[in-house]
Amino acid sequence: MPRRHRLRQRRAAHVHAGSRHAPVIPNNPTRKRRHPFDERAYRNRNVIERAIGRLKDWRRIHTRYDKLAGNFASAVAIAAVVQGWL
C-alpha cells in the first residue's frame, strides 16, 4: 500500500473516531485536499509554546542546572513570577 494512502487512512481514522489526537497544525495554503483541524487548540498550543520559549530565555531553566525536581520547579516558578504570569 502506498505511503500516502496509509497516511490518509490514519488521519481519517483519528478525525472521525473522535480521538484525543486530532490534528492541531493548520493546512499548507497550497494543499489541494484540506483536512480539518481545531483552531482553538492551535491557538492554545501557540500560547503554550511561546510561554515555554520565554521560560527558556533563563539559562538556569533551559540547561536544568538543578538536579532535584523541587529546586527546578521553584526556579520555574520564580521565572514565571518575574515574567509576570503568576
Residue 18 has, within 13 A of its CA and on its CB side, a CA count of 0
Q: Extract the C-alpha cell encoding 34.
A: 484540506
DSSP letters spanning the chain: --HHHHHHHHHHHHHHTT-S----SPPPTT-SS-----HHHHHHHHHHHHHHHHHTTSHHHHTT---SHHHHHHHHHHHHHHHT--
pLDDT in tens, 32-76: 887 777 788 888 888 888 988 888 888 888 888 888 999 999 988
Q: Extract the C-alpha cell encoding 83.
A: 515574567
Quick check: pTM over 0.75?
Answer: no
pLDDT of residue 28: 81
